[in-house]
A and B are shown apart, each in its own frame.
Chain A
Amino acid sequence: MKKYNILLSILFAFVLNLNGLSQCGNLMDVCHGKLDDARFIKSWPIQLPEQESGEPLPQVSFKMPLSSGTTYKIFACNAEEYPGEVIISIRNHNDDLVITSYMVEQQRHLPIIKFPVAMSGIYTFSFYFEGGKEGCAIGVVSSVD
């Protein structure tokens, strides 16, 4: 565990540097424990402005192939200096909504999603911030054995 904490400290520092997200604060502290023993596959920087009146909700989407037989661990880390809390939604190749990280009825965020994929395909990961607030985050896709 200690090994992973050290490694993740290094690698998330690089992500912040490479993506120019240093202004979002120290996401490393927020995020490093979530990967745990999973194998990192992909990450995306997410920085969105506050929603303006009459304008659509700011969001950003990425596509990624997911393979059947693999269990994916999907999560995001918010920059604490920003008010927005990120929400992930995942759609399959038919644009069917598979899941979101926000339980509307319970009004709570899911910190981690484990997704054992049974249908291979290209999935769309969309990110936006609750209530259209300004926010900064990193979305991470990893796999677990």
Chain B
Amino acid sequence: MQQLIYFIRKFRYFLLFILLEVVAFFFTIQHHSYHKSKFVNSANSITGGIYNTTNSINEFFQLKKDNRQLIEEITNLKNTVIINNLSIEKDSFNINKSEKFRQKYQYTFAKIINNNYTKRNNVLTIDKGIKQGITSDLGVINSKGIIGVTKNTSNNYTTVLSILNNNSKINARLKSSNHFGTLIWNGNDFNILQLIDIPRQAKLKVGDTIITGGKSAIFPEGINIGTIKDFSFENNQYKTINIELFNDMSNLGYVQIIKNLERTEQLLLEKENTND
């Protein structure tokens, strides 16, 4: 017993060092796995609050760009409204049973208060949380394309797993055909993502548009992602397909969070099928 106490006294700094290092390593392992909810994240009131304050200063310098983006989006929306009105006039149908027409997706807007894109695993922070109805695993987009999936939430802040992350796997497809693939990031360039698992029957061209696939319950189908920059075809299979994003990931402001109102229903149904 005395020897044990002597041992602990002699190596007490080393033991403390090992103990703390194990704690740090535990957090790191947790950081690298997708499914665990993380203890160390910036969705708490202190870090979120500080980011919020500094962001409001930065925002002032972005006003010009934000205004331009808003005007572009308004113009787009006006154009679509006009087209819709015309088609309604042409077909002239009435909606009698409103329960047939359901709302599947609900959109909430939020502001990115901490953006990063140079690391291997990038996580963003936005200024909405549980109080505003945000949960984990919701899609985050802006007018140009997809940005990521929500992860940890606190009362007023949420962290978003960026598409520039090792754990991010987004279902994507070609706009011209129905061939599905998975969108990943190899960590090199923050504007270039990689599309894998595309079947060899698919016909690709440089410049083809890639959109979300809608196979997952997170993103609706048809949201823009980017265009094919280059690809290589080896051994009768597609090797790396590089996708250039429409979005500039280094310059993000306001985003929309997509809540799939039928997600639980869809997941339950899919689970039932696998149980059989």
Do the two chains bind?
A: no
